[in-house]
Homo-oligomer: A and B are copies of this chain.
C-alpha cells in the first residue's frame, strides 16, 4: 500500500501508540509532526524524534509561539498542579489546558497533509482520561473533519476521497491504550508524559499526566518502564 498518513506525534504515550496503530494498518509513507510551542522542556520532542526514527517516518518539527498568548500552566509561568485527586482531575477544565491547542495542531497537520497528499490524519486524543479538555471530545474531532474537507485543495478537487481524522484512542482507557500499544511492540520507555520533569528528563511522578500514566500501567497489569525522580 502506498497510502500516506500524517500522525501528530508529541512524544507521549498516546501519540506513540497512535503512530504504531497507523504503521500496523499499513499506511506508507508515514509523516510525523511535532510542535515546539514553548513547552517547559524538550524531553517530549526528543522522544518524538526517536519514535519517528523507529517507524521510518518522515519527521517534521514546527516552532510556534503560543507562549506569547499565555493562559496555560504548560506554557506560562504558572505552577503545574501536583497530586490531585481523581475527582479533581476528572472535573472542570484544568489549568494545563493550552488554548485551542488541538485546533492549532490539527490545522498544521492539515497544511502538511495537503502538501504530502495525506488524506489520513491521526491524532491521539482521548475522551476518557481528558474529559476536561473541550478539544479532546468526539464532536470536536467530527467538526474538524468537516472543516478539513471544506478547507483543502485535495478534498475540494476530489470529494470522493475525503480527509479522515483518525482518533483511534478516543474511547479507550489509558490501560487499554497501553495494552494495545504493548501488543504492537511500542517501547513506552521511549515515551515522555510528565508535565514537569527534572532538568535531565526524569518524570516527576506527581503531575496529572504522571498520575494517569502510572494508573494506566497498574490497571493494565503491565510493568511501567518510566524512570520517576
Partner-B contacts on A (CB < 8 A): 60, 62-66, 68-71, 93, 97-104, 106-108, 110-115, 134-135, 137, 139-140, 143-144, 146-148, 150-153, 155-157
Contact = CB atoms under 8 A, between A and B. Distances in A.
A153 B134 contact: yes
Nearest to A133: B153
Contact of A104 (B71, B108, B148): B108
A157 B110 contact: no
- The residue in A102, A106, A151 that gathers the most chain B C-beta atoms within 10 A of its C-beta is A151
A66 B33 CA distance: 13
A99 B71 contact: no
Give the 9 A-B residue pairs with the shortest CB-CB distance, closest first: A100-B111, A99-B114, A107-B107, A71-B115, A99-B111, A100-B110, A134-B156, A143-B147, A104-B107
Contacts of A70: 115
Oligomer copy total: 2
Contact of A65 (B63, B66, B139, B140): B63
Contacts of A103: 107, 110-111, 147-148, 151
A139 B146 CA distance: 10
A60 B68 contact: yes
- The residue in A66, A104, A106, A107 that gathers the most chain B C-beta atoms within 10 A of its C-beta is A107
Nearest to A69: B115
Nearest to A70: B115
A147 B137 CA distance: 11
A62 B64 contact: yes
Nearest to A114: B99
A104 B114 CA distance: 13
Nearest to A139: B150
Contacts of A71: 114-115
Nearest to A112: B69
Contacts of A139: 150
A71 to B, nearest CB: 4
Contacts of A63: 63-65
Contacts of A104: 104, 107-108, 110-111
